Structure 1
């Protein structure tokens, strides 16, 4: 695979992931300009909805967790250039997220529906804040490396990737995983919480907490005592003193 093809592949993978993430944020946001949203579809039988939705979350969770493990990356690098490994993860992440937006099954009923304009405005502001908080956090640690763009660019210009360097910067001084914290804020702060949205929020929250345990284990394995000391000082998701 030529370096130019790897570069194009990485850019397209980033585009797919970006489109899927924006689509997902708008899909659960109940925006009137969207052709459909998570709460504005015709309900289907509960048993069918639960089974299909659980399958979609399972696909999303397995893709994120399995493809992020060092052992999987090692095997993947045997069949494709290492520079394309992260882009492949990003591509499949976008596909998994897009499947949720395409095939999530509605469940009848609402847990809450806020009509009070000031409260509704606060919830919408919190929802927007959560997603911006998550996006900002990616730039703190290197957005372009996280989404595979740095790898394909350095490969294109024939430069080696810089070594992994652990630094506590900005939000990471207060929580170890601000990206995931922003996602949790975004999926829970909503003026319209249908049972369909509730199922998505609960299942994704469970996945986030489980997935972070595996990620923390990999970080300890890679960074050793440096990360162990960081764990002792800084909360995983909430900025409470330890």
Structure 2
């Protein structure tokens, strides 16, 4: 009964994640027809909007960073069974994004605007490529483990998870964090950049740079000299032009 409940929980959380991820694409791209986007929603004064938006980004970043740390996980799994620990992380991450969607305050002043058809195409191309890189990167490293389904499935089968190993498939041969590279493209590539969108892109970019620092500490602790060598050979977010 418990195994089935864990599987159902993991699957439900995964569906919520998919819905949230798809909405995030539309939210950042300010897609028409959506009730709430980075540029559409409840209006506030500049001071209130900046305060609320920065607080929402900080909440999202804090949830991601704190719950991803090994020290937190060791304590957290005394409460949450290891089989659904990752799914619970994904649940909280999805809720943090949903809160951001619901409470975001647009700031409509324009930072830049590209009006030509060719210019818009050049901007939307990297936007689409960024999301494609993000999604592809999750499958390269094990999409279903990243979002908690594999752990619940292994628990249901009574099998143990395989020992972690350092792999460098496709994008990971040239950059260490292609998933974050994709997000950078997705957040910054737009033909119409409002100040609100700029706050979102800048805030999440700062968070990602901080997150990479902590993630790499964990990876060095896990893989030791192997990761040190990989870090010396490979660029962080963009391909390195020369070898160290």
TM bracket (short chain): over 0.9
2: CA distance, partners of 1:151 / 1:29: 33
Corresponding residue of 1:204: 204
CA distance in 2: counterparts of 1:41 and 1:151, whole angstroms: 38
Summarize deviations over 1:25-76 as a string: whole Å, max 9, x none. 1011122232342123464111111111111111101100000001111111
Q: Distance in 1 between matches of 2:42 and 2:94?
A: 25
Gaps of 5+ in 2: none
How far did 1:141 drift?
A: 0.6
CA shift digits 1:2-44 (9 cap, x unpaired):
1111111111111122211111110111222323421234641
1:198 Cα deviation after fit: 0.4
Q: Output the CA distance in 2 between the equivalents of 1:42 and 1:118.
A: 32
Where does residue 26 of structure 2 map in the other structure? 26
TM-score (norm 2): 0.96
**For 1:70 and 1:199, how far apart are their aligned partners in 2?**
30
User: Structure 1: any 5+ residue segments left out of the alignment?
Assistant: none
CA contact (8 A) 2:28 2:187 kept: yes
Deviations 1:70-108 (A, max 9, x none): 111111111121111100101101111111111111113
Distance 1:130 1:79 in 2: 36
When normalised by structure 1's length, the TM-score is 0.97
Q: Which residue of 2 aligns with 1:165?
A: 165
Alpha-carbon distance between aligned partners in 1 of 2:169 and 2:46, rounded to the nearest angstrom:
45
Moved over 4 A (4+): none
Q: CA RMSD in A?
A: 1.2
